[in-house]
Amino acid sequence: MIPSSYPSQEEMARLTARMLWEIGAVHFMGDEPFKLASGLPSPVYIDCRTPISHPRIRSTLMDFLTVTVMRNAGFEAFDNIAGGETAGIPFAALVAERMALPMTYVRKKPKGYGRNARIEGKMTEGQRVLLVEDLTTDGGSKLSFVDAIRETGATCAHTAVIFYYGIFPETTKTLGDHGVELHYLCTWHDVLAEAKARGGFEPATLAAVEAFLEDPRKWQAENGA
């Protein structure tokens, strides 16, 4: 089923943040900061793999992501949906099902045997590919996947994620310079707004999170980066 009519982007952002809280995907720092994939510290962490175990929320998020992409990029903008290994694979499959399109996935590196391929599934020259992942921080990890897609002769000008940190100003430039537009459902600002609405968090915890969101590089420098 291809969704076509859903709430505004602002309402989808609020509901996405609420759903992430409901399933325990949002984590605030305890005694020690979290370490991001980049190796840098953070007082907050989102586990966007969690929704795959919650069918109602998983389905709603994928409806939201599909309609967001179609609203922003067009209803006939893609020929293939590619998931980034590993977290993007289930979400790409669900989006592909909704859009009635072929699904592929992109390995982080060649598997080292057989065809030594990075692309699994059928991707052909000239196809317009949407890269789907769970989240993005500064956008850098997407570039390798995009390059692997383009090496097949396909094009990749869009990537879609459930969660975008929304605090690193270089993200859209990094992706834009590579010819890629980012689509997402919510950011840390939406999640923090939902945290305040829910209550129950220590003022010191919220203060640390707000300090990080206002100037993440400064916070990281002061906390062991």
In the structure, what pLDDT confidence band is assigned to residue 11 with cuts at 50, 70 and 90? Answer: very high
pLDDT digits (tens, 9 = 90+) for 63-122: 999 999 999 999 999 999 999 999 999 999 999 999 999 999 999 988 766 667 899 999
Q: What is the pLDDT of residue 30?
A: 65
CATH topology of domain 9-222: Rossmann fold (3.40.50)
Predicted confidence (pLDDT) at residue 2 exceeds the cutoff of 70? no
Q: What is the pLDDT of residue 44?
A: 87
Predicted confidence (pLDDT) at residue 1 exceeds the cutoff of 60? no
Q: Does 139 belong to an annotated binding site?
A: yes
Q: What is the pLDDT of residue 178?
A: 96
Q: What is the pLDDT of residue 175?
A: 95
Q: Residues 165, 201, 8, 63: what is their CA dihedral angle, to the nearest 10 degrees?
A: 70
Q: What angle do CA 169, 170, 175 make, to 5 degrees?
A: 125
Q: Does 59 belong to an annotated binding site?
A: no
Q: Does 141 belong to an annotated binding site?
A: yes
Write the burial class of residue 33 (CB in 10 Å: 0-12 exposed, 13-18 middle, 19+ buried).
buried
The C-alpha atoms of residue 123 and residue 71 are separated, in whole angstroms, by 24
Comparing CA positions, the residue from 134, 51, 123, 50 lying closest to residue 85 is: 134
Q: Does 135 belong to an annotated binding site?
A: yes
Q: Does 137 belong to an annotated binding site?
A: yes
Q: Does 14 belong to an annotated binding site?
A: no
Predicted confidence (pLDDT) at residue 32 exceeds the cutoff of 90? no
Predicted confidence (pLDDT) at residue 38 exceeds the cutoff of 80? no
Q: What is the pLDDT of residue 4?
A: 64
Q: Does 122 belong to an annotated binding site?
A: no
Q: What is the pLDDT of residue 42?
A: 86
The fraction of the chain above a pLDDT of 90, given in percent, is 65
Rg (CA), the chain: 18
pTM of this prediction? 0.92
pLDDT digits (tens, 9 = 90+) for 114-136: 667 899 999 999 999 999 999 99
Q: Using N-to-C axis directions, what is the helix angle for 55-73 and 88-99, rounded to 10°?
A: 60
Q: Does 108 belong to an annotated binding site?
A: yes
The C-alpha atoms of residue 128 and residue 111 are separated, in whole angstroms, by 24
Predicted confidence (pLDDT) at residue 137 exceeds the cutoff of 80? yes
Q: Does 109 belong to an annotated binding site?
A: no
Domain ranges for the chain, please list them: 9-222
Q: Does 35 belong to an annotated binding site?
A: no
